[in-house]
Amino acid sequence: MNYRFYMIISTLFLVSCQSKDKKETTSNKGMEKAALLEADKAFSKRCEEKGMKNAFIEYIDSNGVLLRPGQLPIIGANAIDYLIQQNDSGYTLSWEPSNGEVCQSGELGYTYGIYAMRPASKDTLIYGTYTSIWKKQKDGSWKFVLDTGNEGIGDQ
């Protein structure tokens, strides 16, 4: 099932990234990438300020997918319900995008980087990696359509 899901997501991403007019979209691609990276940074800042739950609910697309360890993909309304039920009072989560890309049409993009989780009861950081796929909204903002992370990248 997971293989089929990843194939569908990859196909949708590639199909939606085909450009209508390469000259027009290429000139905007750098600005779109910068805007996407800024959206990811703002998402992290919101997570630090308002908590993981509030930030994720604000930044998830209505059809967003969460990939979490030991679970099948959590999709759409189920993903939002999952987030609502989370208790994020025991830690602070932040991250920094390492890089990302926006497709030629400017409608989809991805970011990836390193996250840091600070448990409230310990003076240590737990690091991991993350990847998010983003969709540009009608109002020009970005919301993620897929989010996944992997704990454990060693000492930083």
Given this model, what pLDDT does residue 132 score? 98
The DSSP secondary-structure symbol of 140 reads S
In this structure, are residues 73 and 67 in contact, taking their beta carbons and an 8 Å threshold?
yes
Low pLDDT (below 50) residues in the chain: 1, 5, 19, 156
Closest CA to 36 of 88, 85, 87, 109: 109
Given this model, what pLDDT does residue 153 score? 75
CA distances from 73 to 58, 80, 82, 119, 138 (A): 19, 12, 11, 26, 25
- All domains of the chain in start order, with CATH: 22-151 (3.10.450.50)
pTM of the model: 0.82
Given this model, what pLDDT does residue 10 score? 53
Given this model, what pLDDT does residue 19 score? 47
- For residues 146-155, one letter each, b for 16 or more C-beta atoms within 10 angstroms of the residue's C-beta and e for the rest, the string is bbbbeeeeee
pLDDT tens for each residue of 97-140: 999 999 999 999 999 999 999 999 888 899 999 999 999 999 99
